[in-house]
Amino acid sequence: MSRRITKLLLAAVLAATSVIAAKAQDWPSKPITMVVPYAAGGGTDVIARAVAQKLQDRLGVGVVVENRAGAGGNLGTTAAAQAPADGYTVLISNIGPMAVNPSLFKNLKHDPAEVLEPVTLIAKAPLLLLVHSSVRATSVAELIALAKAQPDGLTYGTAGHGSANHIATALFELMAGVRLKHAPYRGAGPALNDLIGGHIPMMFATLPSAIGHVNGGSLKALAVTTAERAPALPQVPTLAEAGVPGYEASGWYGVFVRKGTAQAIIDKLRSEVATIINLPEVRRNLELEGAQPIGNTPAAFAAFVKAEREKWSKVVADADIKIE
């Protein structure tokens, strides 16, 4: 290759780099779409909307929450994976699409680890083991006895295959020695509505999405899934305390963008989200709903997602979970 051609190629690369840097510097200059891969009303949607409003105020551009429910969160994840790597499509996702589905769905269009970049972990939250008021169980021990008396007789709702609700229930079945019937929905919101209406008897739901219904008396919370009790519901025991020793799981919510997005955009987005969740009123509201604000670095979040993926892939295998 001649020296002249080499110089021309180098000039082209430098020019392209300058354009990318300039675009990153100007970000954002137009509205941002925040994709939530579940229906409205679930924990992921609640967290996304809390962040979106403040992000819009701080950045001075519109931030539109778009619910793209279906296939256990895979439809919304695919939409984000196929968007341009320019920071104008942001995915708010959770344990299901990012840590469980790669082991559960054998024909994923995209492996999220290969096409999406972790930005920051917004928050972690316990799940609640909930039952409708008509269920003849006031404790985990009574629920286990009821389930053992009628294998596959109790139906539980989830946000879909691979969701936090689904995988938490699968772990419960393994450790409690029970068999339950899965009813996947297009999001935790619709499942929770059916639980409140008495159409299904039980489900695991993220604390932020369910605490109002528990405090209002329409649902009974038998246990929380974390190793320690939730400060928002101190009277509710952990599953480990209630008769399933060693049980631990949590829901979490994080920010992702398409791989190839400029690092300057990723850093600015992470900084803004971390600032937002630590604003006194936002932090207070998250904690009142049982969510623990995090706001870690992209590298720390990537390591967390990797560890979650390894943990839950083993549960999928041990529980022999199949998509029917």
pLDDT at 224 over 60: yes
Asked if residue 305 lies in contact with residue 254, where contact means CB atoms within 8 angstroms, the answer is yes
Q: What does the pLDDT average to over 258-271?
A: 98
For residue 74, give the amino acid letter.
N
- Per the model's pLDDT, the better-predicted residue between 284 and 20 turns out to be 284
Phi first, then psi, for residue 12 (nearest 5°) are -65, -40
| Rounded distance between C-alpha atoms, residue 190 and residue 11, angstroms | 55
For 164, the token pair is 């936090």
- Per the model's pLDDT, the better-predicted residue between 197 and 17 turns out to be 197
- Per the model's pLDDT, the better-predicted residue between 105 and 34 turns out to be 34
Q: Which of 221, 203, 195, 188 is nearest to 290 (CA)?
A: 221
pLDDT at 2 over 80: no
pLDDT at 3 over 90: no
What's the pLDDT band for 322 if we cut at 50, 70, 90?
Answer: confident
User: How much is the pLDDT for 5?
Assistant: 62
Global confidence as pTM:
0.83
What's the pLDDT band for 185 if we cut at 50, 70, 90?
Answer: very high
Question: With pLDDT > 90 as the criterion, what percentage of the chain qualifies?
Answer: 75
Mean pLDDT score across all residues of the chain? 91
Q: What does the pLDDT average to over 171-197?
A: 94
Task: Kindly list the strands in the beta sheet with 251-258, ordered across the sheet, starting from the edge strand earlier in the chain.
Answer: 63-67, 32-36, 89-94, 251-258, 116-125, 292-293
Sign, Cα dihedral of 208, 305, 57, 68? negative
Residue range 131-144, pLDDT digits in tens: 999 999 999 999 99
DSSP state of 238: B
Phi first, then psi, for residue 84 (nearest 5°) are -60, 150
| CA–centroid distance for 236 within its chain | 23
Strand partners, 94: 253
Q: Which of 126, 125, 122 is nearest to 255 (CA)?
A: 122
Residue range 286-302, pLDDT digits in tens: 888 778 999 999 999 99
User: How much is the pLDDT for 8?
Assistant: 58
What's the pLDDT band for 17 if we cut at 50, 70, 90?
Answer: very low
Residue range 41-67, pLDDT digits in tens: 888 898 999 999 999 999 999 999 999
Q: What does the pLDDT average to over 243-259?
A: 95
For 20, the token pair is 């990318």
User: How much is the pLDDT for 107?
Assistant: 86
pLDDT at 9 over 80: no
